[in-house]
Structure 1
């Protein structure tokens, strides 16, 4: 395992945004810039309809906004501001799924029934899984968004990722230990689908590299976490991976701190969007964070352009902004090469590599996973608040999910 060390001194960059598309060699030819709307080739249709289905309301509305901000900035960038690809106008129909799978499915059926054969979104894994099913049944292209569930990768031949997945998060957590052979990793999580899923992923990914995994799962109605913090310490772990969400997070982190867990063993968890930076209390500067994206992590022209565009439009770049930007780049590539024919668009994306906000990105041909760098991050105090600083960039190949055949 190799990590590229890079210090980020400018905490002020936290308010900026990162665009998440990457550079690499496209299947047949190098792609070193945005797909150009003026590229020559056989003419496509005058117009292609695209349905963007994500959360504009509901519990994941903030994630949906980040995605949409990135998508709109990416579309402008990838089409040179024309909204067209080689003369084909992209008619974008934005729809709100409210985080409800049934709502998303109804929207998808309506759009497909009216002739739309390209869909993109969503922030919710449940919604994304339902839309992927519709894509497979109806043979339409689906560019899945921030939803992280591993099951979406390789679910069918029509579904592509535009963001990272849970397996890349878990693999990044493992990089804090380096060689995992013979190491003990405790998963501290809630005893629900989210926590159980994380425990299973850690077992599958880090366990396969030689680590012994011990889950400590806590019932959702528990409010006193001292005994569980003590249980974590009693297992003498080399690393504690925390997967937690909801209103009890603050009390859980406080108990971990009071029991001295941070003084005795490295603790790793995922760093979410900027709204969560103040949620860790006195443990903030003691936790090691894995991270998909924050605006100051990448250092490249595409990220700079994305940040400027989102801020100029009144938005704030955040965790899932690059996923939307990537979706726009992949959409333009699909239309440019496939001209609205679904099978041709699928072929155009398989193996596609591109320059994006996070650097080099590759659409893996076999299962449509998006191979990308991840980050090790810390939070630092900054005027009464906490802001992220980059500790290390973890190369994409070191955290690539297991390939689905």
Structure 2
């Protein structure tokens, strides 16, 4: 299956006429009525980063969405006689650009949107979805604020609180344990600090923090401070060019030998970034191709590789989105309210196993993973340590 960029032809009037015709009763060969028949064609707008800092994540999503649409429609790109057309738009990781292209899609009659790697973009698109009453399925953007933001927004991947909850599973019993958050003193780091306090603190952990200026280049004093704190677990939230030096300092100062250290395992391009610390770090993980062994995961990997792509961290987000959209179209026939109703409470098997769309706030309840990196043929590869049950890391219910 191939996803293409396509300019819609025809005016809003023509689109409306098509929808009216689709909704009218049509005769069947026996002289009866098929009033439940859907439109002949539905266009899905995919808005994600094809350029910009998150282009790699966008690529993973797009490859997997194409594979998921192929899988969910048995290679036909149709469901119950309705052809699914995909129109891609690049947001470049820019919320303003995303809003512009979303308005163009909606103006052309598109009422199903999906994609977005950036949380800032996803929040802006969610606002447009509510204002224009169109269905929107976000992914891989992880901000918790996306869940429950409005009735029109869903998600096809995990969210930040599921990451943090997974970190807590590295302790046998969180109650009374001391957790130190080691992060940069930025919005990203402060957000992770707040999430650990809110999620693991609520389970009885004592949470403190070692926050480092973003322009710091010497990390030995901070590693020593962590040792002095003597926590039971260190949660690291770090990004950017200083990552290698930071991990080297933790390793050289003995932090990784003395205390369990947990951080998120990114996509395969980052596996070599930890240096000598690689095999000493505990990783929470959303997905890697060897995380599980089920038929859907096998099918996704085969379809992506057959098309010349590579399955990676955010492949399930694209694949799940396609499954959700096909289900929504099948049940809702393109009517937004009906499609929303079809997705609320929807349970389906995805690459990570069973997924449940929580009806109350549209969180996607799914299993998570503990992983480690091991040296293999001169490189590092991810290896599964344990699977964390979906209900164990389910996010708190959001209030819409």
TM score, norm. by length of structure 2 = 0.91
Alignment partner, residue 160 of structure 1: 154
Alpha-carbon deviation of 1:42?
Answer: 2.1
2:132 is equivalent to residue 138 of structure 1: yes
Counterpart CA distance in 2 for 1:121 and 1:315 is 18
Q: Which residue of 2 aligns with 1:12?
A: none
Give, in angstroms, the shift of residue 85 of structure 1.
Answer: 1.0
User: Following the alignment from structure 1 to structure 2, what is the Cα–Cα distance between the partners of residues 157 and 173?
Assistant: 30
| 1:210 matched residue in structure 2 | 204
Deviation at 1:263, TM superposition (A): 1.2
Q: C-alpha separation between the residues in 1 aligned to 2:368 and 2:35? A: 36
Q: Is it true that 1:192 corresponds to 2:186 in the alignment?
A: yes
Q: 1: CA distance between counterparts of 2:296 and 2:310?
A: 16
Q: Residue 390 of structure 2 corresponds to which residue in structure 1? A: 396
- Secondary structure, counterpart of 1:289 in structure 2: strand
Q: Which of 281, 303, 314 matches 1:287?
A: 281
| Whole-angstrom CA distance in 2 between matches of 1:402 and 1:255 | 35
Q: Which protein is bigger by CA-based radius of gyration?
A: 2
1:210 CA drift (Å): 0.3
RMSD over equivalenced CA pairs, Å:
0.9
Structure 2 equivalent of residue 371 of structure 1: 365
Q: Distance in 2 between matches of 1:330 and 1:178?
A: 35
- What TM-score do you get using the length of structure 1 for normalisation? 0.90
Task: Work out the number of aligned pairs and report it.
Answer: 366
Regions of 4+ moved over 2 Å = none
Structure-2 separation of matches of 1:362 and 1:81: 25
Tell me the equivalent position of 2:122.
128
| Aligned equivalents of 1:361, 1:241: Cα separation in 2 | 27
Distance, in Å, in 2 between the alignment partners of 1:376 and 1:272 is 13
1:240-255 equivalence runs, <5 A = 240-255=234-249
Distance 1:331 1:269 in 2: 32
> 2:239 is paired with a residue of what secondary structure?
coil
SS of corresponding position for 1:189:
strand
Name 1:57's counterpart in structure 2: 51
Residue 12 of structure 2 aligns with which residue? none
Partner of 2:164: 170
Please give the alpha-carbon distance, in whole angstroms, between the structure 2 residues aligned to 1:41 and 1:214.
Answer: 61
Residue 346 (structure 2) aligns with: 352
Counterpart position of 2:11 = none
Q: Distance in 2 between matches of 1:131 and 1:197?
A: 21
Say whether 1:326 aligns with 2:301. no
The secondary structure found in structure 1 opposite 2:273 is coil
Shift in Å, 1:41: 8.7
Q: What is the Cα deviation at residue 254 of structure 1?
A: 0.5
Post-superposition offset of 1:384: 1.4
Is residue 338 from structure 1 mapped to residue 323 from structure 2 by the alignment?
no
Q: Distance in 1 between matches of 2:301 and 2:259?
A: 36
Whole-Å Cα distance in 1 between the matches of residues 331 and 299 of structure 2? Answer: 25
For residues 333-377 of structure 1, give each alpha carbon's deviation from its aligned partner in whole angstroms, at most 9, with x where no partner exists.
110011111000000000000011111000000000000000000
Once residues 120 and 41 of structure 1 are traced to their aligned partners in structure 2, the CA distance between those partners, rounded to angstroms, is 28
Give a deviation string over 1:23-67, Cα, whole Å, max 9, x none. Answer: xxxxxxxxxxxxxxxxx9921011111100001111111100000
| Deviations 1:229-285, CA, capped at 9 Å, x for gaps | 111111110000000000000000001011100111000000000000000000000
SS of equivalent to 1:240: strand
SS in 2 for 1:199: helix
* Matching residue of 1:304: 298
Moved more, 41-50 or 160-169: 41-50
Matching residue of 1:7: none
Deviations 1:127-159 (A, max 9, x none): 111100100111100000100000000000000
More RCO (CA 8 Å, sep 6+): 1
